[in-house]
């Protein structure tokens, strides 16, 4: 159960940081609400992805960098154990 929680944290932290970066990047722009929402969502997705990829890559070289993902510990998954709703079926059968 700890590894499942750890994986949630290591997903939520980049999402929060990337969203914050996107929001800050759009401050000062004069846009109507619909354009602002679309821009924040687009930039947010890019920022979340770049943050996750960058920090994960740096963590391979310098493990302490994992703190930027919420934890330096990587979740471990054991084969043959149920980790989710569809873990007992191959991905192609979903």
State residue 32's pLDDT score. 87
Which of 20, 10, 12, 22 minimizes the C-alpha distance to 46?
Answer: 22
pLDDT (tens digit per residue) in 61-83:
999 999 998 888 888 877 755 55
CA 33/CA 15 separation, integer angstroms: 22
Query: Does the pTM exceed 0.75?
Result: no
State residue 27's pLDDT score. 81
Half-sphere CA count of 45, side-chain side, radius 13 A: 5
Sorted by where each begins, the domain ranges of the chain are: 2-72
Average pLDDT over residues 42-66: 91
pLDDT (tens digit per residue) in 12-41:
999 999 888 888 887 888 888 888 888 888
User: What angle (nearest 5°) sits at the alpha carbon of residue 91, between those of residues 72 and 93?
Assistant: 160
Supply the mean pLDDT for the chain: 82
């Amino acid at each position: 159960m700890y590894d499942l929680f750890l994986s949630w944290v290591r997903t939520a932290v980049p999402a929060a940081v990337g969203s914050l970066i996107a929001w800050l990047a759009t401050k000062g722009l004069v846009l109507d609400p619909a354009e602002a929402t679309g821009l924040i969502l687009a930039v947010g997705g890019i920022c979340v992805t770049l943050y996750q990829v960058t920090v994960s890559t740096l963590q391979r070289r310098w493990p302490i960098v994992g703190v930027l993902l919420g934890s330096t510990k990587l979740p471990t998954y054991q084969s043959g154990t149920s980790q989710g709703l569809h873990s007992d079926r191959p991905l192609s059968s979903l």
